[in-house]
């Protein structure tokens, strides 16, 4: 009996680990980038009532479809700051959910605090700066030559639908990491309003902008206040956009009309 019990336990362990190895490493809305599941698309933000537990469960599993979201939730942050919670994020728990889905305008007019909570409510988190850089590798940079249909949206009158620019995809299969909206990451930095073309100075092609560094004097009336690190450029960036574009121009409580975010886990 002891031998049979041992064999059964061994077989169970082998079966368990085989099942784990065959399991899907990331939810459908994500892409495996090294050890991280990175959302394929820039986040859209949805207000979902607590009573709609089925939809919330699907969002947390990365399986909510656009049809289900349109039927059971309200998209927020498309053209204004209409989120149902405070800019500080302190009361956002269970109210707004970040979703990676194709065919919608990404969230804008959102503070770093709200974005962080929207990711958390969906069972995810903001990417770190290093993770974002890893996932963006290979994304083509059209500069000002945005053709309006397939290239990354770096010169557009408005944000474009997530995943709609077919050639704006990284080597890993992540969409829109150049242009459309600046993407907030988890990291903070000292606020710096002064920008320059850092890639040319560093011997890297692309003319990507950098607004980085420490205390360059008063900004917004204060010195040494924390700023959001944002990546990639937006519809207004033109040649400044790219996989190396980085800014820390905005305090964490600001909500620009060309800045959004992306989650991971």
Cβ proximity of 162 and 43 under 8 Å: no
What are 97's strand-pairing partners?
46
Residue 166's pLDDT is 98
Helical residues (DSSP H) of the chain, grouped into ranges:
2-22, 53-60, 66-72, 112-121, 129-136, 198-201
Give the pTM: 0.85
Q: How many helices (H) does the chain have, and how many strands (E)? A: 6, 13
Q: Which of 214, 246, 212, 210 is nearest to 230 (CA)?
A: 246
Q: Would you place residue 16 in the very low, low, confident or very high pLDDT band (cuts 50, 70, 90)?
A: very low
Condensed to tens digits (0 to 9), the pLDDT of residues 181-211 reads 999 999 998 887 777 776 777 687 777 777 7
> Sheet holding 263-264: strands in order across?
30-33, 36-39, 263-264, 125-126
Condensed to tens digits (0 to 9), the pLDDT of residues 231-257 reads 999 999 999 999 999 999 888 999 999
Mean pLDDT score of the chain: 88
What residues does each domain of the chain span? 30-264
CA 223 distance to own-chain centroid: 28
Residue 213's pLDDT is 63
Cβ proximity of 208 and 222 under 8 Å: no
Residue 224's pLDDT is 63
Read off the pLDDT of each residue in 215-241 and give the average, rounded to a whole number: 78
Condensed to tens digits (0 to 9), the pLDDT of residues 57-106 reads 999 999 999 999 999 999 999 999 999 999 999 999 999 999 999 999 99
Q: Which of 86-100, 144-158, 221-235 has the least mean pLDDT?
A: 221-235
Percentage of residues of the chain with pLDDT beyond 70 = 85
| Residues in Cβ contact with 45 at an 8 Å cutoff, skipping those fewer than 6 apart | 75, 76, 77, 83, 96, 97, 98, 99, 107, 110, 114, 118
Residue 15's pLDDT is 42
Whether 35 has a pLDDT exceeding 50, the answer reads: yes
Whether 216 has a pLDDT exceeding 80, the answer reads: no
């Amino acid at each position: 009996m002891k031998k049979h019990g041992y064999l059964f336990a061994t077989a169970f362990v082998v079966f368990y680990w085989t099942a784990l190895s065959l399991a899907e490493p990331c939810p459908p809305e994500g892409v495996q980038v090294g050890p991280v599941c990175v959302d394929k698309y820039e986040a859209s933000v949805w207000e979902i009532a607590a009573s709609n537990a089925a939809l919330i469960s699907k969002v947390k599993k990365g399986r909510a479809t656009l049809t289900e979201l349109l039927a059971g939730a309200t998209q927020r942050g498309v053209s204004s700051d209409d989120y149902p919670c405070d800019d500080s994020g302190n009361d956002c728990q269970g109210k707004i959910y970040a979703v990676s889905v194709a065919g919608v305008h990404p969230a804008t007019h959102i503070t770093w605090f709200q974005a962080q909570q929207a990711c958390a409510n969906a069972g995810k988190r903001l990417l770190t700066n290093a993770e974002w850089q890893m996932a963006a590798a290979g994304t083509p940079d059209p500069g000002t030559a945005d053709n309006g249909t397939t290239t990354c949206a770096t010169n557009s009158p408005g944000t474009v639908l997530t995943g709609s620019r077919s050639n704006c995809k990284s080597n890993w299969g992540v969409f829109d990491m150049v242009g459309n909206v600046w993407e907030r990451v988890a990291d903070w930095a000292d606020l710096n309003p002064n920008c320059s073309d850092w890639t040319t100075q560093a011997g890297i092609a692309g003319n990507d902008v950098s607004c980085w560094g420490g205390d360059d004097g008063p900004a917004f009336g204060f010195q040494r206040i924390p700023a959001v690190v944002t990546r990639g450029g937006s519809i207004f960036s033109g040649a400044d956009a790219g996989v190396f574009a980085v800014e820390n121009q905005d305090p964490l409580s600001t909500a620009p009309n060309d800045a959004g975010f992306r989650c991971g886990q």
